[in-house]
Amino acid sequence: MDVLMRLLALALILAPQGLCQYEGYDYDTDYEPDPDVPYRPPIHSHHSVDYNVPSIPFSTECARECYCPPSSIATMYCDHRKLKTVPQIPSRIQQLYLQHNEIEAVNIKSFINATSLREINFSHNKLKSNKIDTGVFATSPHLHQIILNNNDLEEIPSPISSSVERIFLGANKINKVREQDLQGLVNVTMLDLCNNYIDNIKGKALSKLTKLMQLNICNNKLHSMPAGLPASLMYLSLENNSISKIPDDYFAKLPNLTAIRMSHNKIGEVPLYMFNLPKLMELNLGHNKLKRIFYVPRSLEHLYLQDNEFETINITLMCPVMDQTQRLTYLRLDQNRLKGPISTLAFLCFPHVQSIYYGEQKRSAGDNQVHVIPPYPPPEEPRYGDDDDDDDFPQYHREEHGPIVEEEDEDDDFHDYY
Ligand SMILES: *[C@@H]1O[C@H](CO)[C@@H](O)[C@H](O)[C@H]1NC(C)=O
Ligand SMILES: *[C@@H]1O[C@H](CO)[C@@H](O)[C@H](O)[C@H]1NC(C)=O
Ligand SMILES: *[C@@H]1O[C@H](CO)[C@@H](O)[C@H](O)[C@H]1NC(C)=O
Ligand SMILES: *[C@@H]1O[C@H](CO)[C@@H](O)[C@H](O)[C@H]1NC(C)=O
Ligand SMILES: *[C@@H]1O[C@H](CO)[C@@H](O)[C@H](O)[C@H]1NC(C)=O
Ligand SMILES: *[C@@H]1O[C@H](CO)[C@@H](O)[C@H](O)[C@H]1NC(C)=O
């Protein structure tokens, strides 16, 4: 009876959406499911068996507090239920949805038979490190994804199954990463630790994650660059920490880096060839304390340098050889201490530049004038008196310092990893 009612309700919810998809699909926006609506698999009216599962008679038992859709017998929905404890998890369950509850403690008993789990969504609960039994996240040798963001964790729970590939720990109260925390996680490709209180990452904690591609540690308390990053890394997010220095040869060991996001730190100076990385496409160093420009690798497309201390930009340093192979298309330089546009050599050097955004510059001591430098190229029809410079650059209006995983669009580079 209960199940029937749910199916009816679900059919009512799904039907209009199905129609809309044909009528008004917006090809410019990526489809983002409403994060607060729990995901329900589509109903297959002709069959209720997952053909990947062998046809031995499986128990269809489901925890009393939860919902196990008949169409997807390996999934148990326990989300948005004000639960205070984890229900008993039947052994066939592969996807476990526990997000948006009030769970503080996790008892190993609930997980004792949970040997098939592939995905656990435990986000938006009240999980506390000292109330989680050791090994609850290591019962399944098939675990791929564990989502623990928005909890009260003070440590990275360990052990986690060594099969895990994606770990989400954002918005907790984690203040350190110890060596043992990530031990044996040889298959991790994505680790999100944004919005925590991390000020310390122990020497070799990250170096053994030899498949790590994306590391997010934005909005934390780091004073130095995390040591020992694996050479597999492609996306590094360290926005909004307190990092003042990058060791000279830091990136030399990370040849696969495609994007580095380090805005809102305290970087004062970098060696000329610091970012000479063959695959680097996006570099965000906005809101730092840079004074001297550096070499721009040929692959770089987007360079963000707003709100630094640049008084001049020496093109010869950015681009010592003008062979027209540079891919730079966008350069942002507003809120520096420039007194005028950079040398027109820039356009010889960077033939693909579509816009250089200067905008308003910071006032230097003893200088009463606020310098406003028009953007390059100038708008088609000059719009003097229109003080909203940003209108000329709609494509770059986005949160620059949010965790990479929450980026919505316009940033193809990061899409594949969410
Ligand atoms: C996990 O839960 C969060 C919070 O409700 C939600 O935003 C997210 O989409 C869920 N993730 C998956 C993979 O279901
Ligand atoms: C675990 O599974 C076994 C075998 O199916 C069953 O007898 C036992 O009651 C289950 N344990 C719990 C705590 O559910
Ligand atoms: C890691 O991934 C590989 C390839 O998918 C798989 O063969 C291996 O069993 C995984 N390792 C662990 C510890 O699960
Ligand atoms: C930086 O992180 C702090 C918390 O560490 C947060 O309060 C602040 O809003 C963040 N600032 C930006 C610009 O994201
Ligand atoms: C770097 O990327 C290439 C191409 O994707 C890949 O074959 C190689 O294994 C990566 N290097 C490391 C150390 O992971
Ligand atoms: C730019 O830097 C080069 C190399 O250090 C130097 O020779 C040149 O004079 C500088 N150009 C300007 C305009 O300062």
DSSP conformation letters of 40-74? -PPP-SS----TTS--S-------TTSB--TT-TT
| Residue-wise pLDDT tens digits, 14-26 | 333 333 333 333 3
What is the number of the ligand 1 atom nearest to the C-alpha of 33?
Answer: 9
Residue 113 near ligand 2, beta carbon < 6 Å: yes
Q: Which residues pair with 96 in a beta bridge?
A: 76, 120
Question: Residue 220 in contact with residue 198, Cβ under 8 Å?
Answer: yes
Q: Is the minimum distance from the CB of 112 to ligand 2 under 6 angstroms? A: yes
Domain definitions of the chain by residue range: 52-174, 244-390
pLDDT at residue 315 tops 60? yes
Question: Tell me: domain 244-390, CATH 3.80.10.10, correct?
Answer: yes
pLDDT band for 260, please (50, 70, 90 cuts): very high
Ligand 6, atom nearest to 312 Cα: 14
Query: What pLDDT does residue 368 have?
Result: 72
CA of 107 to the centre of ligand 2 (A): 15
Is residue 17 exposed (0-12), middle (13-18) or buried (19+ Cβ within 10 Å)? exposed
Is the distance from the beta carbon of residue 345 to the nearest atom of ligand 2 less than 6 Å? no
Q: Read off the pLDDT of each residue in 171-191 and give the average, rounded to a whole number.
A: 95
Q: What is the mean pLDDT of residues 294-321?
A: 95
Q: From the CA of 314, give the closest atom in ligand 6.
A: 1
Residue 408: pLDDT over 90: no
Query: Does ligand 6 have an atom closer than 6 angstroms to the CB of 210?
Result: no
Task: Please determine, for residue 387, whether its predicted confidence score (pLDDT) is greater than 70.
Answer: no
- Range from 58-67, 168-177, 314-323 carrying the lowest mean pLDDT: 58-67
Cα 353 from chain centroid? 27
Q: Over range 213-229, report the average pLDDT.
A: 97
Ligand found nearest the CA of 295: 6
Q: Name the closest ligand to CA 107.
A: 2
The residue to mutate among 115, 160, 163, 185, having the most atoms of ligand 3 within 8 angstroms of its beta carbon, is 163
416 Cα–ligand 5 center, Å: 16
The DSSP call for residue 128 is B
Average pLDDT taken over every residue of the chain: 81
For 104-162, write each residue's pLDDT tens digit.
Answer: 999 999 999 999 999 999 999 999 999 999 999 999 999 999 999 999 999 999 999 99
Enter the pTM of the model: 0.81
pLDDT category, 49, cuts 50, 70, 90?
Answer: very low
Mean local confidence (pLDDT), 159-169: 98
Per-residue pLDDT band for 378 (boundaries 50, 70, 90) equals low
Question: CB of 209 within 8 A of CB of 236?
Answer: no
Domain pair 52-174 / 244-390, same fold: yes
pLDDT (0 to 100) of residue 106: 97
CA angle 224, 226, 228 (to 5 degrees): 135
Q: Two tokens at 98?
A: 């526990």
Q: Is 311 in the pocket of ligand 6 (CB under 6 A)?
A: no
Report the pLDDT value the prediction gives residue 386, as an integer from 0 to 100: 38
More confident: 69 or 374 = 69
Q: Are 218 and 401 in contact (CB under 8 A)?
A: yes
Return the bridge partners of 216, or none: 192, 237
Instruction: Please tell me if the CB atom of residue 105 comes closer than 6 angstroms to any atom of ligand 2.
Output: no
At 52, the pLDDT band (50, 70, 90 cuts) reads low
Identify the CA nearest to 356 among candidates 348, 346, 364, 369. 346
Task: Decide yes or no: CATH 3.80.10.10 for domain 52-174.
Answer: yes
Q: 346-377 pLDDT, tens per residue?
A: 888 999 988 889 889 988 777 777 788 877 76
